[in-house]
Amino acid sequence: DADVTQTPRNRITKTGKRIMLECSQTKGHDRMYWYRQDPGLGLRLIYYSFDVKDINKGEISDGYSVSRQAQAKFSLSLESAIPNQTALYFCATSEGTGAQETQYFGPGTRLLVL
């Protein structure tokens, strides 16, 4: 079984709809992240969490919210989806500390907002 799973893997939704992307991990890591990837660009950080009670905004948090339900679960919500949120979304977990912290990514969720 994969260490980091994301559901759904693909989703089509309409403008204005609420949508939740879920991430689960079995690696036992405390730190979890949400990134988005747009064509021709690298990944950009949306939100990150160092533990259940610690949630932090990343570079592009506007229009998104997150919930850390447990150490192993980290969900990303789009309260009112818009077309420019069409992207590939990745969840990641990490081990280590500071600069040595290696991040391991889930398989990604392809989201299309019509």
Partner 1 sequence: AQKITQTQPGMFVQEKEAVTLDCTYDTSDQSYGLFWYKQPSSGEMIFLIYQGSYDEQNATEGRYSLNFQKARKSANLVISASQLGDSAMYFCAMRDGGGADGLTFGKGTHLIIQP
> Is residue 27 a contact point for partner 1 (CB under 8 A)?
no
> Is residue 43 a contact point for partner 1 (CB under 8 A)?
yes
Residues in the interface with partner 1 (CB under 8 A) total 28
Give φ, ψ of 84 to 5 degrees. Answer: -75, 5
Kindly state the smallest distance separating residue 31's Cβ from partner 1, in Å.
9
Q: Which span (18-26, 56-64, 68-76, 78-86) binds partner 1, by CB under 8 A?
A: 56-64
Binding positions for partner 1, 60-89, rule CB under 8 A: 88
Contact footprint for partner 1 (CB under 8 A): 33, 35, 40-45, 48, 56, 58-59, 88, 90, 92, 97-108, 110
